[in-house]
Amino acid sequence: MAVVLKSSKEIEKMRRAGHVVRQVLERVSATVKPGATTADLDRIAEETLKEFGAKAAFKGYHGYPAVLCTSVNSEVVHGIPSSKRILKEGDIVSLDFGAIVDGYYGDSAVTVAVGEKIDPKTEKLLKITEESLKKAISVIKPGATLGDIGEAVQTIVEAEGFSVVRDFVGHGIGSSMHEDPQVPNFGTAGRGMKLKAGMVLAIEPMVNAGKPEVRVLKDGWTAVTDDGSMSAHFEHTVAVTDTGATILTA
Ligand code: MF3
Ligand code: CO
């Protein structure tokens, strides 16, 4: 499949979808506290989405059963919200959400601490993962390559002794949630496809405190670290502009 370049009109639609995604993630983040269940978070996300009159991107996608992905502690991505999963002080939870507005998608994720007593190493994991996303976005401009993005993430992450997940990658996004190209969070600067104005990419580093290997649980969705270490995930939908990049989910 070829990369689909977007017009400025399409990018404005995606910015509207991105705005909804941001509002939902902010509302859900504010709901994260000890005693809340991940099903509570999914319900808040669905209610907020309704207020905006937008459509859920994840629900029904290959049979995914919720509007939000909630991945706790050693869960990397695609955790399914459950009324049995009660968040507790010291947990971290990745909140990954997608919306469709006028046929166009926005996709973003944040990882937040539950309560106030977060372990310093885990706090560092959140900080470094978010920083690696910001750094990756900062290298985006026409003529830069996918390898520039991958190397930017990998360098920051590995300098802290953390590791980049290989089995899941970022992606092009537009009138479908997943388009070409794939956007790995590892690589070599100067290698890979060249970026062009009008490309829209979901950049989403997934970072483990321990080893990079992951496995998928029997529910068919939840990816967890093989070694049980903590994992964090941050994501933005980003458009390549004539001079650099603009974050559509800001
Ligand atoms: N941000 C994730 C992705 O890009 C969300 C997909 S979850 C799913 O793949 F449930 F929709 F699959
Ligand atoms: Co994504």
Q: 204: CA distance to ligand 2 center in Å?
A: 6
What's the whole-number average pLDDT of the chain?
A: 98
Residue 188 included in any domain: yes
The residues placing their C-beta within 5 Å of ligand 2, an ion, are 107, 202
Task: Check residue 145 and report its DSSP letter.
Answer: B
Query: Is residue 239 within 8 Å of 11, Cβ to Cβ?
Result: yes
Residue 1 included in any domain: no
Instruction: Identify the domain containing residue 81 by its residue range.
Output: 8-247
Selected residue with higher pLDDT from 18 and 1: 18
CA distances from 199 to 23, 30, 44, 237 (A): 24, 32, 32, 11
Model confidence pLDDT, tens digit, residues 89-132: 999 999 999 999 999 999 999 999 999 999 999 999 999 999 99
Count Cα neighbours of 58 within 13 Å in the Cβ-side half-sphere: 26
How many domains would you assign to the chain?
1
**φ/ψ of residue 171, rounded to 5:** -160, 155
Measured in whole angstroms, the distance separating CA 183 from the mean position of its chain's CA atoms is 12
Please tell me the distance from the alpha carbon of residue 73 to that of residue 121, in angstroms, as a whole number.
13
Ligand 1 atom with the shortest distance to the CA of 96: 1
Mutational test site, ligand 1, from 177, 203, 204, max ligand atoms within 8 Å of CB = 177
Model confidence pLDDT, tens digit, residues 162-198: 999 999 999 999 999 999 999 999 999 999 999 999 9
Residue 161 included in any domain: yes
Q: 235: CA distance to ligand 2 center in Å?
A: 7
Residue 90 included in any domain: yes
Say what the pLDDT of residue 41 is.
98
Mutational test site, ligand 1, from 61, 171, 219, max ligand atoms within 8 Å of CB = 61
Residue 95 included in any domain: yes
Q: 58: CA distance to ligand 1 center in Å?
A: 6
Please tell me the distance from the alpha carbon of residue 199 to that of residue 64, in angstroms, as a whole number.
27
Q: Is the pLDDT of residue 1 over 90?
A: no
Residue 77 included in any domain: yes
Mean pLDDT, residues 142-161 taken together = 98
Q: 160: CA distance to ligand 2 center in Å?
A: 24
Decide: pTM greater than 0.95.
yes
CA distances from 162 to 72, 124, 230 (A): 18, 10, 10
What CA dihedral angle connects 157, 130, 170 and 114, to 10 degrees?
A: 110
Residue 14 included in any domain: yes
Model confidence pLDDT, tens digit, residues 74-88: 999 999 999 999 999
CA distances from 184 to 61, 157, 187 (A): 22, 14, 7
Sorted by sequence, the CB contacts under 8 Å of residue 106 that are 6+ apart come out as 14, 16, 17, 18, 19, 20, 21, 57, 98, 99, 173, 237, 248, 249
CATH number at residue 87: 3.90.230.10
Q: What residue's CA is closest to ligand 1, atom 8?
A: 58
Q: Is the CB of 61 under 6 A from ligand 1?
A: yes
Q: Is the CB of 58 under 6 A from ligand 1?
A: yes
Closest to 13 measured CA to CA, from 236, 195, 177, 175: 175
